Every structure is written in C-alpha cells, then in structure tokens.
Amino acid sequence: MFNVEMYTGNREENYELVKKQLQALLHDEKNQVANLSNASALLNQFLDRVNWVGFYLLDTNDELVLGPFQGLPACIRIPLGKGVCGTAALKKETLLVENVNQFPGHIACDAASQSEIVVPLLKGEQLIGVLDIDSPELNRFDKLDQQKLEEFVEILVTYL
C-alpha cells in the first residue's frame, strides 16, 4: 500500500520525493481516471497554499473538459485559447501566472484564486489535457515549481 512520507527536506528534495510517490501510486495501473485522481490528490496534500489542483482533458479538438480534481466545484468546459488553461493547452506550453486578474480573458471559477500554474499533458506532440493548480496568494508559483511540475507531468503521462 502507498505510504505518505513527510516532506522534511528542502523544496527540491520534497519535489523529488513526491515524484517517487507518484510512480509508486501509478505502478501497474492503466486506468486514466484512477491515475489522474491519485495525481491530483497527491499534489493537493503535497503543495501548500493552494486552493485547487486538477486536470482538464481534451474533449474535442477545440475544448477542454473538467477531469479529476481536488477543491471547490469548477468550470466544466474551457475552449482552447480561452483563459489560462485554454491558452496553455493551445500553445502546448506551461503558463505561470503571478496574478490571474492581470491575465487577459482569465476565467474565474473561484474568485479566491490569485495565481495559477498550468502544465500541458503531452504525449509526444499530442495534447491530452492540462494540469491546473490555483493559489489564493499572488506570486505563489516560481520557476522551481514549474520545472518540477513539468517533471511530475512527464512521469504521469507515461501512465495515461
């Protein structure tokens, strides 16, 4: 069974531990919903100062649909190119937004969210969806978060 270890190292060490925990959770499991659910739960308990962690999945060629998540109820459908999630999906690149209120076309699913990071889920060049993490604090995410969450997603997509 899975064991949650305490995150007692520095941020980089803690990210390495959560990546190992992800691999242990996903080992031998092929179900996408189960894997995305466990990944969102793991990140939600690992990250501090966040109010939403989850996935939006490509539903059609031009729309993302809500997937497994932790947090308050959320927007169900997001067109590609709209908001932070839709823009990151369309560009197939991570977006780190220090202040969502300054992001053109931001979609406010939770008015408490102030900053956001969105990491695309890519299998090769094929977009599967995005990992979306919101925080009630401005400037919550930095380049270390971006690098380590991109590595987390790389591991995750091998099981999707």
Q: What residues are paired with 56 via a beta bridge?
A: 66, 130
DSSP notation for 18-38: HHHHHHHHHTT---HHHHHHH
Of the listed ranges 13-17, 23-27, 104-108, the least confidently predicted one is 104-108
Determine, yes or no, domain membership for 97.
Answer: yes
Please name the helix (run of DSSP H) or strand (run of DSSP E) that holds residue 145, with its range, or none: helix 143-157
Determine, yes or no, domain membership for 17.
Answer: yes
Direct distance between the N- and C-terminal alpha carbons of the chain, in angstroms, rounded to an integer:
21
- Measure the CA–CA gap between 38 and 98, rounded to whole angstroms: 27
In the block, tokens 């990944």 appear at 39
- Measure the CA–CA gap between 56 and 118, rounded to whole angstroms: 10
pTM exceeds 0.75, yes or no: yes
Determine, yes or no, domain membership for 79.
Answer: yes
SS3 content of the chain, % helix, strand, coil (to 5): 35, 25, 35
pLDDT at 106 over 80: no
Q: How confident is the model at residue 5 (pLDDT cuts 50, 70, 90)?
A: low
- 112-159: per-residue pLDDT in tens? 898 999 999 999 999 999 999 999 999 999 999 999 999 999 999 999
- 22-49: per-residue pLDDT in tens? 999 999 999 999 999 999 999 999 999 9
Tell me what the pLDDT averaged over the chain comes to: 92
* Rounded average pLDDT over 73-89: 94
Determine, yes or no, domain membership for 23.
Answer: yes
Determine, yes or no, domain membership for 6.
Answer: no
Task: Report the number of distinct structural domains present in the chain.
Answer: 1
Determine, yes or no, domain membership for 5.
Answer: no
Residue 1 has a pLDDT of 42
Determine, yes or no, domain membership for 2.
Answer: no
In the block, tokens 């977006």 appear at 95
pLDDT at 89 over 90: yes
pLDDT at 99 over 50: yes
What CATH number has the domain bearing residue 46? 3.30.450.40
Domain range enclosing 153: 11-157
Determine, yes or no, domain membership for 85.
Answer: yes
Residue 32 has a pLDDT of 95
- Measure the CA–CA gap between 17 and 32, rounded to whole angstroms: 22
pLDDT at 4 over 70: no
Residue 149 to residues 12, 19, 67, 121, 124, Cα–Cα distance (Å): 11, 9, 18, 11, 17
